[in-house]
Structure 1
Amino acid sequence: MSISNITVFLPSVLTLIGIPGLESVQCWIGIPFCAMYLFALIGNSVLLIIIISEHSLHEPMYIFLGMLGVTDIVLGTSIVPKMLGIFWFHVPEIYFDSCLLQMGLIHTFECIESGILLAMALDRYVAICYPLRHGAIFTHQLVTQIGAVVTLRAAIPATPSLVLIKCRFQFYHTTIISHSYCEHMAIVKLAAENVQVNKIYGLFVAFAVVGFDLTFITLSYIQIFITVFRLPQKEARWKAFNTCIAHICVFLQLYLLAFFSFFTHRFGAHIPPYIHILFSSLYLLVPPFLNPLVYGAKTKQIRIHVVKMLCS
């Protein structure tokens, strides 16, 4: 193990510098970030209140939507308050353990969100391809079990990475993180030790989880489209397809942003660092911001209850 002449042993505090290269305009960047976060917080909270209070919405599709809302609230809350503290109040310091907690929350709930989208795709697949068996298959017990499995599947792979960083990495080249939040690779690159194992493990988990979910989501929607286009009546085809439009929009915006952020980070060496950081931040902020809009606009039952709530 080779260690440079300048190292820090087990730092208790790290420094987040925000968006390198855009320090002078970070206060203005914080305004749209704050607006998206507040809208995501209010929009997802309203969805949760409606789903919990309306007994008619206690169905698998809406329960999964409620889970997605909780996930979006946690994701936004895990990064935006600290980010705004850096942008607006010049408080870049963060305790090392708090940084690891933030990293763990981000990666765990990203994985949970992906798992919920897979569950929603499978729910729509059964509802459209096997409508008479949907109620018997997607019981409340199964939905609860899916929620538990999705949460465990997200938490278990994230734990070894946190343990490796906490226990194995003791010497650090610097305590300054060139990012606006505690991103996994940004922390790993601080270490003076060999970080290759942690890099490989992080990539393996990301590809395994996202690859698995993306494959089965795609297969589900392919089978849904085949079934829908085989329906004899145009009205029935449109009604069946319309129930999936919101899910498809959410699915596309999440994974397109994820892949764009990933490939620019891994292969865009010539791209300025602030572009990487902006897109990685938007990847965490845009889905929670858009999801309530998409489901509020495209789901009739949600739209009716939102109007009822506003008018009462």
Structure 2
Amino acid sequence: MSDSNTTDFTNPSTFILLGIPGLEATHLWISIPFCAMYAIAVLGNFTILFIVKREPSLHEPMFYFLCMLAVTDLVMSTSTLPKMLSIFWFNSREISFSACLTQMYFIHCFSEMESGILVAMAFDRYMAICNPLRYSMTLTSSVVAKIGLAVVLRNGILALPYPFLARQWPYCRTNIIPHSYCVHIAVVKLACGDIRISSYYGFFDLFSVIGMDVFFIAVSYTLILRAIFRLPTKNARLKTFGTCSSHLCAILALYIPDFFSSFTQRFGQNVPLHLRVLIATVYLLVPPVLHPIIYGLRTKQIRGRLLQLFSRKGT
């Protein structure tokens, strides 16, 4: 470790990302599944966007929200994985201070944007099941666009304090980040000032945004389940609940790794560092990989269009 990385300096021009500390010898092997997952995420989400754009029958609120989710997944994974793979493959660990803060903003903004889109999709399922006669009148193209804009503005604004708070702290000990990307808590831990404001804002953001989103999703599904159980036959109940299964899988794919990663980073001091970083790294890839698979396999309209696409290529 060079002296320039450990002696006194203020606000370094570059940070050094270690990748997954303690597992440097296996970085090349770790990169193989990560690269495969990134390729699946990019191919899967672009396929969703292509199918929805090409098929007029899919120009409905549910699929518009799915396209928003696909774009969010693409941005979130692309903001981290290329740099991460350059660390694993080429030992390219340097990242400029500005680029680090930009990456930090994109990570927090788009990971929470996914949560907001899942709330919108829960509202879509609520309207389709509980108020089907008002569905087309309520969820017009204009309303869908306004919901999407509201999600973008909410998370775009709430993510702004992360890079601004990180920029204001003096970094006088080291510029080495023991992580594979510039997550807020890993960066501000390098500061030599009092970073409680950053820590408090992280908790506020986690519980106010994610907590509020989980609350609204829970309320939506309470009303949905109540409506489903009122249906007269078991087949009708199963068929109606099946329309929610893809969305429920997407919710689990986002929130379970998110909460596990967040609490491990903050309270998992007894968890080995390499395991905490590995969990946080995998968390960013799980939703972008699983969402297109979930909706591609479990949504009849998309599955049918995919089969048609491949059958045409086969003829």
TM-score surpassing 0.5? yes
Please tell me whether residue 65 in structure 1 is matched to residue 69 in structure 2.
no
Runs of at least 4 residues of structure 1 off by over 3 A?
none
Structure 1 equivalent of residue 22 of structure 2:
21
Q: Does 1:146 align with 2:126?
A: no
- Counterpart residue number, 2:136: 135
Offset of residue 164 of structure 1? 2.2
Q: Which consecutive residues of structure 1, in runs of 5 or more, have no partner in the other structure?
A: none
Deviation at 1:267, TM superposition (A): 1.9
CA distance in 2, matches of 1:136, 1:7: 63
Does structure 2 retain, via aligned residues, the 8 Å contact 1:7–1:192?
Answer: no
Asked if 2 retains the 8 angstrom alpha-carbon contact of 1:79 and 1:102, the reply is: yes
- 1:92 corresponds in structure 2 to 93
Q: Tell me the alpha carbon deviations over residues 148-176 of structure 1, each in whole angstroms, 9 at most, x when there is no partner.
A: 0000100101112212222x223332110
Contact 2:74 2:288 in 1 (8 A): yes
- How many residue pairs end up in the alignment? 307
- The separation in 2 between residues aligned to 1:286 and 1:172, in whole angstroms, is 35
The alignment yields a C-alpha RMSD, in angstroms, of 1.1
Q: Secondary structure at the match of 2:15?
A: strand
Q: Please, what TM-score do these two structures have when normalized by structure 1? A: 0.96
1:273 deviation in Å? 0.5
Q: Which amino acid aligns with 2:100?
A: C
Shift of 1:16: 0.1
Match of 1:12 in 2: 13
Corresponding residue for residue 277 of structure 1: 277
Distance (Å, rounded) in 1 between the aligned partners of 2:187 and 2:264: 18
Q: 1:117 Cα shift?
A: 0.2
CA contact (8 A) 1:173 1:192 kept: yes
Secondary structure, in 3 states, of the residue corresponding to 1:15? strand
Structure-1 residue corresponding to 2:242: 242
Provide Cα deviations, 1:268-300, integer angstroms capped at 9, x if missing partner.
Answer: 211101111111111110111011111011100
Shift of 1:192: 1.3
Question: Does 2:139 match 1:174?
Answer: no
Match of 1:255 in 2: 255
| Aligned twin of 2:3 | none
C-alpha distance in structure 1 between counterparts of 2:97 and 2:158, whole Å:
20
Q: What CA deviation, in whole Å up to 9, does each residue of 1:197-233 have, x standing for no partner?
A: 1111121111100000001101111211111111012
**Cα contact 1:8–1:175 (8 A) shared by 2:** no
In 1: Cα distance, 2:265 partner to 2:201 partner: 17
The one-letter amino acid of 1:135's match is S
Distance 2:113 2:261 in 1: 18
Aligned residue for 1:295?
Answer: 295
Identity of aligned residues (%): 50
Tell me which residue corresponds to 1:185: 185
Aligned to 1:75: 76
Q: CA deviation at 1:193?
A: 1.6
Contact 2:104 2:162 in 1 (8 A): no
Range with greater deviation from structure 2 (196-205 or 116-125): 196-205
Paired amino acid for 1:43 = G
Offset from partner CA, 1:8-52 (integer Å, 9 cap, x none)? 212111100011111110110010000000000000000000111
